[in-house]
Amino acid sequence: MPFGNTHNNFKLNYSVEEEFPDLSKHNNHMAKILTKELYGKMRDKQTPTGFTLDDVIQTGVDNPGHPFIMTVGCVAGDEESYEVFKDLFDPVISDRHGGYKPTDKHKTDLNFENLKGGDDLDPNYVLSSRVRTGRSIKGYSLPPHNSRGERRCIEKLAVEALASLDGEFKGKYYPLRSMTDAEQEQLISDHFLFDKPVSPLLTCAGMARDWPDGRGIWHNDNKTFLVWVNEEDHLRVISMQKGGNMREVFRRFCVGLQKIEEIFKKHNHGFMWNEHLGYILTCPSNLGTGLRGGVHVKLPKLSTHPKFEEILTRLRLQKRGTGGVDTASVGGVFDISNADRLGSSEVDQVQLVVDGVKLMVEMEKKLEKGEAIDSMIPAQK
Amino acid sequence: MESRPRPMGAQTVRYKAAPPAVCAAGELSGRRCGVWVCTVGKIGIFVSSPDNGSNRTQQGAAMPFGNTHNQMKMNYSSDQEYPDLSKHNNHMAKILTPAMYERLRSKQTPSGFTLDDVIQTGVDNPGHPFIMTVGCVAGDEETYEVFKELLDPVIEDRHGGYKPADKHKTDLNPDNLKGGDDLDPNYVLSSRVRTGRSIRGFCLPPHCSRGERRMVEKLSNEALDSLTGDLKGKYYALKNMTDAEQQQLIDDHFLFDKPVSPLLLASGMARDWPDARGIWHNDNKTFLVWVNEEDHLRVISMQKGGNMKEVFNRFCTGLTKIESLFKEKGHEFMWNEHLGYVLTCPSNLGTGLRAGVHMKLPNMSKHAKFEEVLKRLRLQKRGTGGVDTAAVGGVFDISNADRLGFSEVELVQMVVDGVKLLTEMEKRLEKGQSIDDLMPAQK
């Protein structure tokens, strides 16, 4: 069977100069890295499922920048994207993940017992704790590229795996397309429901195609363990609860994730993973652990302190508004989470959150009493 | 994984005139495919029939003709891939069946446009509150041939029973319009005629690459630059517009913005925005061309008041001049005797023409027979913001409902005659008089 891509080959009729995107007003990782030479070198390539360079970069071309965050500006369409287009992805990954090199190895550690402490974050300040990650099922294209048939297979496999969970993980699946109004209301009140993406970062990458076909939400009866199917990744796995017991959240996260992985493996569908990039996900920013462990914490005084940003940087943490990425904080309550994803393990990253949040709560208390916090400023982790 | 070869069905199409550009086409099963270079140094995609292709030289080795992504999807059964259209209400969803999907899913046009590409916007957009949407688009001229099994019935449904064997008449001679220079300006606030044009040899907005889009912009600029007299004007590229220019264009109601309608976004027409998009208008601000918005070109003639004849005169003159300037450079518009002018959306085939007025009908619009009258006159109403909007202050946008199967002159005549009648009816109702004797027969 000839291996070709009619549309991509057709574009080769035009010179590199004619096809190269205008990135002069752009500020994202892709735009910083991509040159005409690189474009010329990679434009005739495609992955085994037909994902091309223009597919990789479309979202970055269409979205020059973002007011709050330095966006990545490129996505993978399948596992092989990261290999076929490594001339672009490797430097983007290095830029985004603190100098991570093409030869570096990533460590996976989902043994929650390796976490020290984390069960006693002060609930007067820490309102809720949450850990999320993503997983991709080997052998299928990723959300920017997958067909309806593939997406439905992923949904089917996910639902089968989740249906066999029991004990604290026993739960139910709610497909988006056949949700009743009552179910929808409930999921919104629980803050579980995800909606059709409106962010142009996602829609320009093609992730909203065929919505809501093949999409759904699964959660356990206790409402502390949640899986999103076919949103920005094949699976997004979330463990959460009110209060500051991050240790418990992380325990449930690790146990649940490993149970799910076992079931998938039994059916010969492992997760996409390799020893260089860790878990493979749609967005290069989520490679490695794909993990974002965070809390909603009250820091009205610390957040107005001139050294706030510096402290976060040193603690390797980042802040977001309580609506998640793309939002501003409300009422002095911030979403504080790990900044890193690749090059450190799950345990390492959650440890940073636990230790960092403890420190920031101490600082907040000091500031409340009108005391200085200079002696507490940490060294760069 | 299945390994038996499947034909990738790009069918050859005959065109009215000899193609200026080149072709890469053919079926998988053995015809040789290549990239051909055209005589003017620019390479385009064009499907030629076997007998006029034989005297061209093939350049370089044959390139594999395939569509990896589409092939990969063939690993899934038709049932697994068929979209869920159970909650949908658009023309595509009414016509497409699993059996049809199965027959068409392995095909592609010479530039690689597939069935899923055609229908994506209709899958993503189940319906619209005000209008019955089409739900499918063309990615190139050949789409209407390769996917005729779907598009012919959609066209028939949308264009009042227009059959695959029907012929469309083009008439851009403004002298053939009777009257139209005296619509009552107390009621008719403004008059406007618009259409679209596609440049043969280039893919359409859902599918075109940056290189193609820039070429369309370049060619359009060259043509528009050579207009003179009443039509002399200037081009404003979206990507380097100054704030002052932008404000002026907004005040003139000329500026088009990045599409926000999901109907357009889902079909890929906003990719690479604002690269190679722009607005050209004449110094008098009565003739306007949009470049690379929903079609390659949108051509608009407009002015305040009710002199539709003058608007149509300028429209025809400008359009004809632009077309001859393109032809001088070896480029023509996509046109054939069955579908007329070929545009991105099947709803705009034929004339692609929407001629309309903004007019005050506060009484008429509340009359029980308003919709019926419009229907009989073959007219439609929109809000003054255009499609997707509601009327404000009793002022309506009244325009022709048809595009295909009638000529430009015929459609504008219907607007002129219909608007005159509606004005009479409005005046009657103002005086509290009946309009029953004015009710028209079905045109």
Asked whether the bond before A212 is cis by omega within 30 degrees of 0, the reply is yes
Token pair recorded at residue A63: 């979205």
- At residue B92, the pLDDT reads 98
Domain B73-159: CATH architecture, name and number where available: Orthogonal Bundle (1.10)
In b/e form, how buried is each residue of A203-220, taking b as 16+ CB within 10 angstroms? bbbbbbbbbbbbbbbbbb
Strand partners, B418: none
Per CATH, domain A5-97 is 1.10.135.10: yes
Check if the beta carbon of residue B347 is closer than 8 Å to that of residue B151.
no
Tell me the pLDDT of chain B averaged across its residues.
Answer: 85
Beta strands in chain A (DSSP E): 126-135, 171-175, 216-220, 225-229, 235-242, 273-274, 278-279, 292-298, 317-320, 333-338
Asked whether the bond before B5 is cis by omega within 30 degrees of 0, the reply is no
What's the full length of chain A, in residues? 381
Check if the beta carbon of residue B16 is closer than 8 Å to that of residue B45.
no
Token pair recorded at residue A36: 């005409």
Beta strands in A50-154 (DSSP E): 126-135
> Which one of B40, B209, B217 makes the best mutation probe of the A interface by having the most chain A beta carbons within 10 Å?
B209
B434 pLDDT more than 80 = yes
Q: Chain A contacts of B66, Cβ < 8 Å? A: 1-6
In b/e form, how buried is each residue of B408-429, taking b as 16+ CB within 10 angstroms? bbbbbbbbbbbbbbbbebbbbb
Binding-site residue positions of B: 190-194, 253, 298, 354-358, 382-387
**Does A293 show up as a binding residue in the annotation?**
yes
Domain parsing of chain B, residue ranges: 73-159, 174-438
Check if the beta carbon of residue A25 is closer than 8 Å to that of residue B276.
no
CA-wise closest residue to A143 among A71, A70, A229: A229
Closest in A7, A19, A210 to B210, CB measured: A19
- At residue A281, the pLDDT reads 98
Identify the band that residue B7 occupies on the pLDDT scale cut at 50, 70 and 90: very low
DSSP 8-state secondary structure symbol assigned to residue B84: -
What percent of chain A clears pLDDT 90, i.e. is strictly above it?
84
- At residue B386, the pLDDT reads 61
A249 pLDDT more than 50 = yes
* Rg, chain B, Cα only: 23
> Which one of A12, A13, A148 makes the best mutation probe of the B interface by having the most chain B beta carbons within 10 Å?
A13
- At residue A192, the pLDDT reads 84
DSSP 8-state secondary structure symbol assigned to residue B395: E
**Pairwise CA distance, residues A230 & A209, whole Å:** 11
Instruction: Lowest mean pLDDT of B43-52, B71-80, B177-186, B383-392, name the range.
Output: B43-52
CATH for the B174-438 domain, from 3.30.2130.10, 3.30.470.10, 3.40.1410.10, 3.30.590.10: 3.30.590.10
pLDDT tens column, A134-168:
999 999 999 999 999 999 999 999 999 999 999 99
CA A131-A133-A135 angle, to 5 degrees, is 155
Q: Does A363 touch chain B (CB under 8 A)?
A: no
- Cross-sheet strand order for the sheet of B233-237: B233-237, B278-282, B287-291, B297-304, B188-197, B354-360, B395-400, B379-382
B57 pLDDT more than 80 = no
Cα end-to-end span (Å), chain B: 57
Strand partners, A175: A216
Identify the band that residue B58 occupies on the pLDDT scale cut at 50, 70 and 90: very low
**Pairwise CA distance, residues A286 & B43, whole Å:** 41
Q: Nearest residue on chain A to B74, judged by CA atoms?
A: A149
CB contact under 8 A, A152 and B113: no
- At residue B255, the pLDDT reads 83
- At residue B387, the pLDDT reads 63
DSSP-derived pairing of the beta strands B354-360 and A171-175: unpaired
Q: Chain B contacts of A51, Cβ < 8 Å? A: 69
Check if the beta carbon of residue A129 is closer than 8 Å to that of residue A241.
yes
Q: Nearest residue on chain B to A152, judged by CA atoms?
A: B80
Identify the band that residue B420 occupies on the pLDDT scale cut at 50, 70 and 90: very high
**Pairwise CA distance, residues B378 & B368, whole Å:** 17
**Which of the two residues, B261 and A378, has the higher pLDDT score?**
A378
CA distance B52 to chain A (A): 21
Q: Chain B contacts of A49, Cβ < 8 Å? A: 68-69, 72
Q: Chain A contacts of B210, Cβ < 8 Å? A: 18-21
Domain parsing of chain A, residue ranges: 5-97, 112-369
CB contact under 8 A, B124 and A150: no
Closest in A13, A22, A177 to B84, CB measured: A177
**Pairwise CA distance, residues B44 & B65, whole Å:** 16
Q: Which helix (H) or strand (E) holds B197?
A: strand B188-197
Q: Chain A contacts of B72, Cβ < 8 Å? A: 48-50, 141, 147
CA distance A195 to chain B (A): 14
Indicate the angle between helix axes B115-124 and B148-158, nearest 10 degrees. 40
**Pairwise CA distance, residues B179 & B189, whole Å:** 18
Identify the band that residue B59 occupies on the pLDDT scale cut at 50, 70 and 90: very low
Kindly report the CATH number that applies to the domain delimited by A112-369: 3.30.590.10
CA distance B15 to chain A (A): 21
